[in-house]
Structure 1
């Protein structure tokens, strides 16, 4: 390995719990732990995904201390090329490993990452006859220290899995304690985190669906992408980006017909006051408008039936969520009985959101610190 590079090493593995350590020379950058209710893969392969974006920020080589699947290792240059084309702060870096193990046949299970939101519910219902496992991760959209919200979401997901006749895989990880110091979770890192988890589930899953966040006509730099997601695949695990051909209102129209989804839908990422869905954040509001836009107002039991015009006028949608807000606006204008006052309020909220700025300076300083450490 080249001098000044990063190394990733699995330091503890007890079947259903694994810890890996990221180092730069003799300096420890941090540890990532993951626990699950199923056995996790023992190879080093999954940890390539967790470490690669950080090595790319530091512009240093990455070495995995252990065996890494040959298919993924050979895809690493394409992954770094793809990500570096998105972000000026990401650089193409070489990736090496101690060895490449003999290929293993894929497991028969088919999984789907499942947060309980619109995109994941749509993917599960659209591919219900094939999916054998739902994959829920505490520590991704729900903070690792948010135990009350996580417990409620987990209970709901257990009920969903039972009612749909699908097994639930439950995982907990502290990965964002490292990744959030240096990267933007949505735009830059969460796809790699999904790949880490999916590859760890190689003993039971041979194919894993990653529900699409964006329609193919609205693609932009984002951690999960129809071109990027399959590149994280190994000989044993194939990632499938699912649902990019369907816009969010159409997804809502499908899940609105399913009682299980309407009893348990969870879209909120702010979880104010420990709420399951706060009903006030932009994601909750635009989902409420989704149901109105497809003529299913009040169908979802976990969200308010409507949002007031006065409240909507005070909102602003950031640059990412403006696309979804405009989808709602277009659908609402086509309703048999449109609400012109509500439409006007939505237009104002979209325009107001255009003032949102770039990533904050705290994360920028953390990135520069990581680069200095890695290059010593």
Structure 2
């Protein structure tokens, strides 16, 4: 059963705005229309030859949901090294979630051997203004990444990710804050990319990373590295999850490397680095539950945990100016530890707070008591490995 991924020619509205479109047509006559509308104060340089690579990454989970063979048509050539990597990517996800994601075959009449294509030195990164994004941008621009340092010269913010595609007012405000942060560290090229990715109706927590990597992949005329900040550290990741150290690198190719940055740090350790950046302490945005999506509510679980990430590393509360209120003891006691990653983040905070001599602080003792109140869901790789061997 053959399906089609049809890529349409770019719609160039001006040097500063281009719209990309593609349609996934299944053998059952279902058509899934997707777009990426890209704007920038600078030029929007799209490499039309790489559109096939970008859209295959973007649609990979929807193709796996459908299963079967896919023919890629329209502008662009599919890179052989990416085709191999996407096949490995699909293998892994099929093993993890066989009832949801199926093996697929991707074919294109326009293939290119990219084994001799030189890799460009510049990097582009996702940037939402959150803790992970700020950590990645700051450490690469300030020479804090050691041998991993990349020449980060541009960033992109996705409208349709944590801020709804239709919420133009809040996205514009969040984009303005993020742009101010990037200008503070010398990044002048900042793209906004609006997409209807969520309309595909997939589990966002399992699929969002392909939206980010597929979206950035269209900017290949300058960049050899496509970077996203990690959500967790090597010793805490869970799978299946959209971004993980097992499959993320399969979303790159020979000369276009997909980089998940910062997995050697947990969120509290990242906060210690970001605390060196005064502008971020005023403008960082991590909240997705508040009424105003352009800022932080200060009372949701993520806001409370982020405040404690900084405080656990000895950052005074009054320096966390991006948050409108304190994580008081009564707020901590109200946190719902009903998801494993929340428990994990809180445990990391507690560990660092005690290591930094803050174990007797009222907020620390309240957090410790809250974590001990009931049995907690297992977290991280250790518990998954133990369960695997218990079943064998």
Q: TM-score, normalization: structure 1?
A: 0.86
User: CA offset at residue 26 of structure 1?
Assistant: 6.6
CA distance in 2, matches of 1:98, 1:173: 30
2:138 corresponds to 1:125: yes
CA distance in 1, matches of 2:366, 2:321: 24
> 8, 16, 22: which is aligned to 1:11?
8
2:118 corresponds to 1:99: no
> 74, 77, 83: which is aligned to 2:84?
74
Change (3 A) 1:301 1:352: farther
CA distance in 2, matches of 1:107, 1:153: 30
Partner of 1:169: 190
Change (3 A) 1:305 1:293: farther
> Would you say how many aligned residue pairs link Structure 1 and Structure 2?
350
2:217·2:226 contact (CA, 8 Å) conserved in 1? Answer: no
1:1-376 equivalence runs, <5 A: 3=1, 5-15=2-12, 16-25=18-27, 27-36=29-38, 37=40, 38-42=44-48, 43-66=51-74, 67-88=77-98, 89-101=100-112, 103=114, 104-128=117-141, 129=143, 130-179=151-200, 181=201, 183-186=202-205, 188-221=206-239, 222-274=241-293, 276-298=295-317, 299-304=319-324, 306-317=326-337, 318-339=339-360, 341-347=362-368, 350=371, 354=376
2:163·2:293 contact (CA, 8 Å) conserved in 1? Answer: no
CA distance in 1, matches of 2:198, 2:234: 31
Unmatched 5+ residue regions in structure 2?
Answer: 13-17, 144-150, 379-392
User: CA offset at residue 105 of structure 1?
Assistant: 4.0
User: CA offset at residue 275 of structure 1?
Assistant: 5.0
Task: Give me the CA root mean square deviation.
Answer: 2.3
User: CA offset at residue 28 of structure 1?
Assistant: 3.8
Say which is worse superposed, 24-33 or 249-258, in terms of deviation: 24-33
Higher RCO structure, 1 or 2 (CA under 8 Å, sep 6+): 1
Secondary structure in structure 2 of the residue aligned to 1:245: coil
Secondary structure in structure 2 of the residue aligned to 1:272: coil
Deviations 1:348-367 (A, max 9, x none): 655679589xxxxxxxxxxx
Unmatched 5+ residue regions in structure 1?
Answer: 357-376
Secondary structure in structure 1 of the residue aligned to 2:264: coil
Deviations 1:27-76 (A, max 9, x none): 24321111222122323221111222112122322221142111111212
Secondary structure in structure 1 of the residue aligned to 2:335: coil
1:135·1:169 contact (CA, 8 Å) conserved in 2? Answer: yes
2:305·2:346 contact (CA, 8 Å) conserved in 1? Answer: yes
Partner of 1:361: none
Deviations 1:122-162 (A, max 9, x none): 11122115211122222212111122221111111221222
Deviations 1:283-314 (A, max 9, x none): 11100111111110322211146212222212
Partner of 1:373: none
Q: TM-score, normalization: structure 2?
A: 0.82
CA distance in 2, matches of 1:349, 1:96: 53
CA distance in 2, matches of 1:106, 1:166: 21
